[in-house]
Structure 1
Amino acid sequence: MSQTTELVPKSVLTRIQDFSDPRQEWRRLFAELYGTFLLVLVAAGGGMMGQAFPGVIDRSAAVTAPGLMVLGVILFMGKVSGAHLNPAVSIAFALRGDFPWWRVPGYIVVQLAGAALAALVLKAVIGVSATAGSNYPASGYSTWAAFWMEAILTLGLVSVILGTASGAQNVGLFGAFGVGAYIVLAGLWGSPISGASMNPARTFGPDLVGWDFTDYWVYLAGPLAGAVAAVGLAFLLRGRGGGASGSAAAQGALFTEVSEGDR
């Protein structure tokens, strides 16, 4: 018997690892709310802090912080909820067959709530408008240019997420480094045009608190289009989803490891 099962009753472990047990859904939903809160805290916080203290935070730091935060969140709670932190990711996992559709609405609601809560906290603490932490198309660029940038960047992000959580490519918690690194790199080159949101919740929170949904459709439609395209590419690269390891990574699986039979 492992040390884990000696410390925790087997019945409790069974319930926690049962994706379909409604008694455990609150745990996963809270993880998504908390994780998205932390992500938006640094993603929107960079712009809002820059507004309050001009010249203190440059663009490189502002786009690096969310990637590092996502890395940390995946490492500490990825096995609780899957650490989606993004409605586009939840929908992509469901389209891939690694996540049940009935759980998607709950995940999206708490992701949006966590983002809004983070924006509220930032506004209260920093004292500037939450719109300073949101995303908008760059001056001189059309909303369609920003849309395509968001779609392309999200295509890469979701491809990395699906790839590191699927079958033989499942690299467990080390996938966090791949996802975090991608977010940093995408932000470094893509943020000047669209802000490199890649996440409808990340932009929704500041927009709601600042009550300015100007061009929000870009940050909803762009990431969703990129996520759907990534699911199609995943099928071309690896065939159908729904394998044990991919589902475990997508849904949250405490104490789960990839077995030889799943490779």
Structure 2
Amino acid sequence: MPASIAFGRFDDSFSLASFKAYIAEFISTLIFVFAGVGSAIAYSKVSGGAPLDPSGLIAVAICHGFGLFVAVAVGANISGGHVNPAVTFGLALGGQITILTGIFYWVAQLLGAIVGAFLVHTIAPIAIGFIVGANILVAGPFSGGSMNPARSFGPAVASGDFTNIWIYWAGPLIGGGLAGVVYRYLYMCDDHTAVAGNDY
């Protein structure tokens, strides 16, 4: 099979539809980070700063789930509702979006994460670092469970704590990239419309 990774064209990247997609990713990621970080901060305030107990873990995980549901619903018909640089990376490697579009999505997602984290931080001036992420029920007690680089990046910028940030990028990007390639070559139907050939 020929390579399916496409760089893309600048004229497409600056079209009205593209800008709508970037704005959708910005808003979606802002919503997700605001809900996720806000739930963790709310728990911390209610518990007097105690570590997450099982009921708190479930409450924060549910809030992340609802936040992600709303975030994806907001962007699904406009940008695809990625809300996650690792998802975007996987789709770019799988040929579903161009590399150029993926880069602009990343910028929108990271800016949305920063704004979402700062909105929460003005609301409750509590220093936050890496907060539990999408797979919180499984990995939360061990590593923070963030499988979303934007979810980790926003709070890191807001708190000024970039400790081990590379781990929260490397893991999701490797996983997202592998998922995109595996999906493209093992699961995608032959009649699926790929990126236009003149973008390669």
Give matches, 1:25-174, under 5 Å. 25-54=18-47, 58-131=56-129, 134-135=130-131
3-state secondary structure, aligned to 2:82 = coil
Residues 236/27 of structure 1: CA separation in 2 closer, same or farther (3 Å cut): closer
3-state secondary structure, aligned to 2:26 = helix
2:79, 2:37 → 1: CA distance?
Answer: 23
1:232, 1:108 → 2: CA distance?
Answer: 19
After superposition, the C-alpha distances for 1:112-166 in whole angstroms (9 at most, x for unaligned) are: 11101011111101121233xx248xxxxxxxxxxxxx9xxxxxxxxxxxxxxxx
3-state secondary structure, aligned to 2:77 = helix
3-state secondary structure, aligned to 1:33 = helix
Structure in which a larger fraction of residues adopt helix: 1
Q: Does 1:207 align with 2:156?
A: yes
Residues 23/242 of structure 1: CA separation in 2 closer, same or farther (3 Å cut): farther
Work out which of the residue numbers 165, 169, 194 in structure 1 matches 2:143. 194
1:188, 1:44 → 2: CA distance?
Answer: 15
CA contact (8 A) 1:117 1:205 kept: yes
Offset of 1:242 from its aligned partner? 9.0
Offset of 1:49 from its aligned partner? 1.7
TM-score by length of 2: 0.79
1:105, 1:235 → 2: CA distance?
Answer: 20
Residues 230/53 of structure 1: CA separation in 2 closer, same or farther (3 Å cut): same
Code of the aligned partner of 2:137: L
3-state secondary structure, aligned to 1:79 = coil
Q: Give me the identity figure in percent.
A: 28
3-state secondary structure, aligned to 2:78 = helix
Residue aligning to 2:178: 229
Residues 110/192 of structure 1: CA separation in 2 closer, same or farther (3 Å cut): same
After superposition, the C-alpha distances for 1:85-125 in whole angstroms (9 at most, x for unaligned) are: 11111111111111111111111011011101011111101
What number of residue pairs does the alignment pair up? Answer: 179
Offset of 1:233 from its aligned partner? 2.7
Code of the aligned partner of 2:101: R
TM-score by length of 1: 0.62
CA contact (8 A) 1:130 1:207 kept: yes
1:188, 1:198 → 2: CA distance?
Answer: 12
Code of the aligned partner of 1:191: G
CA contact (8 A) 1:51 1:128 kept: no
CA contact (8 A) 2:26 2:111 kept: yes
Offset of 1:25 from its aligned partner? 1.7
Residues 60/104 of structure 1: CA separation in 2 closer, same or farther (3 Å cut): same
CA contact (8 A) 1:34 1:114 kept: yes
Q: Structure 1: 5+ residue runs without aligned partners?
A: 1-18, 137-149, 151-182, 248-263
2:102, 2:185 → 1: CA distance?
Answer: 24
2:160, 2:22 → 1: CA distance?
Answer: 25
Code of the aligned partner of 2:88: S
State the Cα RMSD in Å.
2.6
